[in-house]
C-alpha cells in the first residue's frame, strides 16, 4: 500500500507544461526543493517584521517577512510550472506594485491643501483688519485736518514748543543759504587757483625761452606758484567748513525735523480721537453707545500717551541740537576767519598753523585725479 501511495505521489509530481510535454528530472528536483522550502517557511514571531505606513502605524500594517518570503516562493513555483520567465513572474509584479502603491504619507499630503487654505484665509483676515484700522484712522485724521483748516475744530497747541520749532526751521533755511554761498566760494576759488597754477607754468616756460626777460618771468612764476600753494591750503580749510555745515544741516537738523514731523502727526491723531470721544460723550447714553464710548476712551488714551512721548522727544532733541549747533559753529567760524585772514594777508605760516590747530588734513596734490587704470 505504501508503494502504491508513493507511486501516486510520484505520478502527481510530474509537471506538465502548456503543450503537454513532461519536464526534465532536474526541473522535478527543483520543484521538490521549492515545495519543501514552502513547507518549512512559515511565520516566526522571532523574525523581523515589515511595518507598512511608517511610524505610528496600526497592527494591521505589520507583515512578517517570513510570510512574504513563503508567498514569493509559492508564486515563483507557480511561475516555473506555467513556464513564465522570472522577469514576468508574479513576484516581480507584486514588488513593482508595492513600490508604486501610495503609502499613508499620501493621506498627509491630501490634508495639506486644507491647511494651506486655512493659513491663506488667516493672512487675508489679518490684512483686512489692518486695512480696516488704517482706513478708520485715516478718515478721522482727514476729518480733523479739514475741521482745523475751516476753523470748525479745535487743536492742541504747545506755544513754547511750536515757537522753538519755528526758530529751527528758520535757522535751517539760513544755514542752507550759508552752505550754498560757501560752495559757490569754493568753486570760484578753485577755478582761480587752477588759473594761477597755469599762469605760473606759463611764466616759468617763458623764463626759459626769453633770456632778456628771464628774471622778470621767473619772479612772477615763483609768486604764482606760492599763491597756488597757499590757495590749496585755504581750499582745504573751506572744504572742511562746508563739510561740517552740510552735516549739521542735512543730518543733525534733518533728524530733529523728522521727529517733529512724527510729533505733528501724533498731535493730529490725538485731536482726532479726542474730538471723536467728545462727540460720542455728547450723544445719548444707551448700551450700544456706552460700549463705543469705552472703546473710544481706550483709543484716546493710547493716542495721548503717544503724543506726550513724542512731545518729550522733540523737546530733548531741540535742546541737544542747540548745544551741538553752538559748539560746531563756534569752531567752524573761527577756522574760516583765521584761514581767510592769513591767506589774504600773505602769512603762509599762520595759514598752516590754523589748519594744524583745527586738525584739518590736506589731500596730497593729484589725489582727486583718477589713476591711469580708472581712465582706461
What would the pLDDT profile of 70-115 be if each residue is shown by its tens digit?
A: 444 544 545 544 454 444 444 445 445 544 444 444 444 445 777 7
Query: How far apart are the C-alpha atoms of 89 and 76, rounded to whole Å?
Result: 7
C-alpha cell at 304: 495721548
C-alpha cell at 271: 485731536
pTM of this prediction exceeds 0.85 = no
Residue 346 DSSP SS3: coil
Q: What is the pLDDT of residue 63?
A: 44
Q: What is the pLDDT of residues 164-204, one digit of tens each?
A: 999 999 999 999 999 999 999 999 999 999 999 999 999 99
Query: How far apart are the C-alpha atoms of 353 and 20, rounded to whole Å?
Result: 123
Q: Which long-range contacts (CB under 8 A, 24 or more apart) does 20-27 make?
A: 27/80
> Which of these, 357, 349, 313, lies nearest to 332 by C-alpha position?
357
Q: What is the pLDDT of residue 119?
A: 77
The two most distant CA atoms of the chain are separated, in Å, by 156
Q: What is the pLDDT of residue 220?
A: 92
Q: What is the pLDDT of residue 22?
A: 43
Is the Cβ–Cβ distance between 167 and 325 less than 8 Å?
no
DSSP code string of 5-65: HHHHHHHHT--B-TTSPBPPHHHHHHHHHHHHHHHH----TTS-EEETTSTT--GGGEEEH
Beta carbons within 10 angstroms of residue 209's beta carbon: 9
Q: What is the pLDDT of residue 53?
A: 40
Q: What is the pLDDT of residue 30?
A: 53
300: β partners: none
Query: How far apart are the C-alpha atoms of 329 and 245, rounded to whole Å?
Result: 8
Phi-psi domain of 180 (left: phi exceeds 0; alpha: psi -120 through 50; beta: other): alpha
Q: What is the pLDDT of residue 283?
A: 75
Q: What is the pLDDT of residue 37?
A: 55
CA atoms within 13 A on the CB side of 255: 10
Query: How far apart are the C-alpha atoms of 238 and 354, rounded to whole Å?
Result: 12
Q: What is the pLDDT along the chain (376 residues), one digit of tens a residue?
A: 444 444 444 444 444 444 444 444 444 455 445 545 544 444 444 444 434 343 334 444 444 444 444 444 544 545 544 454 444 444 445 445 544 444 444 444 445 777 787 778 778 777 877 887 777 777 777 877 777 777 777 888 889 999 999 999 999 999 999 999 999 999 999 999 999 999 999 999 998 888 888 889 899 999 999 999 999 999 999 999 999 999 999 999 999 999 999 999 999 898 888 888 888 888 777 888 888 888 889 988 999 999 999 999 999 999 999 999 999 999 999 999 999 999 998 888 899 898 888 888 776 555 555 443 444 3
Residue 62 DSSP SS3: strand
Q: What is the pLDDT of residue 151?
A: 76
Amino acid at each position: 500500500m505504501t508503494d502504491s501511495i508513493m507511486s501516486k505521489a510520484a505520478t502527481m509530481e510530474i509537471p506538465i507544461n502548456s503543450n503537454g510535454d513532461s519536464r526534465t528530472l532536474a526541473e522535478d528536483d527543483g520543484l521538490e526543493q521549492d515545495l519543501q522550502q514552502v513547507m518549512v517557511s512559515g511565520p516566526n514571531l522571532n523574525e523581523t517584521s515589515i511595518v507598512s505606513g511608517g511610524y505610528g502605524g496600526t497592527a494591521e500594517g505589520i507583515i512578517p517577512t517570513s510570510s512574504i518570503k513563503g508567498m514569493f516562493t509559492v508564486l515563483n513555483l507557480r511561475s516555473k510550472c506555467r513556464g513564465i520567465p522570472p522577469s514576468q513572474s508574479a513576484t516581480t509584479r507584486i514588488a513593482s506594485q508595492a513600490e508604486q502603491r501610495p503609502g499613508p504619507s499620501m493621506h498627509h499630503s491630501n490634508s495639506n491643501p486644507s491647511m494651506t487654505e486655512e493659513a491663506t484665509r488667516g493672512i487675508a483676515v489679518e490684512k483686512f483688519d489692518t486695512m480696516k484700522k488704517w482706513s478708520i484712522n485715516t478718515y478721522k485724521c482727514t476729518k480733523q485736518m479739514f475741521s482745523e483748516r475751516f476753523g470748525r475744530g479745535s487743536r492742541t497747541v504747545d506755544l513754547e514748543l511750536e515757537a522753538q520749532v519755528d526758530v529751527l526751521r528758520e535757522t535751517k533755511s539760513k544755514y542752507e543759504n550759508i552752505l550754498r554761498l560757501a560752495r559757490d566760494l569754493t568753486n570760484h576759488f578753485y577755478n582761480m587757483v587752477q588759473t594761477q597754477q597755469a599762469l605760473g607754468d606759463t611764466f616759468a616756460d617763458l623764463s626759459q625761452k626769453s633770456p632778456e626777460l628771464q628774471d622778470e618771468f621767473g619772479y612772477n612764476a615763483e609768486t604764482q606758484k606760492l599763491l597756488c600753494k597757499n590757495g590749496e591750503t585755504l581750499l582745504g580749510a573751506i572744504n572742511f567748513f562746508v563739510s561740517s555745515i552740510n552735516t549739521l544741516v542735512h543730518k543733525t537738523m534733518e533728524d530733529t525735523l523728522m521727529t517733529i514731523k512724527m510729533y505733528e502727526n501724533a498731535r493730529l491723531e490725538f485731536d482726532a480721537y479726542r474730538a471723536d470721544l467728545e462727540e460720542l460723550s455728547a450723544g445719548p447714553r444707551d448700551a450700544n453707545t456706552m460700549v463705543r464710548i469705552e472703546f473710544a476712551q481706550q483709543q484716546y488714551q493710547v493716542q495721548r500717551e503717544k503724543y506726550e512721548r513724542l512731545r518729550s522727544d522733540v523737546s530733548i532733541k531741540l535742546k541737544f541740537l542747540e548745544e551741538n549747533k553752538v559748539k560746531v559753529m563756534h569752531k567752524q567760524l573761527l577756522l574760516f576767519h583765521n584761514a581767510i585772514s592769513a591767506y589774504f594777508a600773505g602769512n603762509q605760516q599762520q595759514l598752516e598753523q590754523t589748519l594744524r590747530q583745527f586738525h584739518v588734513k590736506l589731500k596730497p596734490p593729484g589725489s582727486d585725479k583718477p589713476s591711469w587704470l580708472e581712465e582706461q
